Amino acid sequence: CCESGDMLIWDIDLPTIEAGDILAIFSTGAYNYSMCSNYNRLPKPAMVCIKNKVDRVVVERESYEDMCKNEL
């Protein structure tokens, strides 16, 4: 999300998560990969394709170095 007040889902109970867990949100409106930017210096996320219970990374997570490589 762009701002602290932006919400993708209201009133949802989720189990406790840990680093490395996967959360899939299928309907995000304007918050989709083709519209992503580095607003607030947040890196673009990885994209994972899951088919027949097999997952593969189709876009790597953007690193800080990736974000800064075209800066002067």
Whether 36 and 42 have beta carbons less than 8 Å apart is answered as: no
CB atoms within 10 A of CB 50: 10
- Pair of tokens at residue 22: 């996967």
- Pair of tokens at residue 16: 């406790």
The catalytic residues are 2
Place of tokens 């953007």: 62
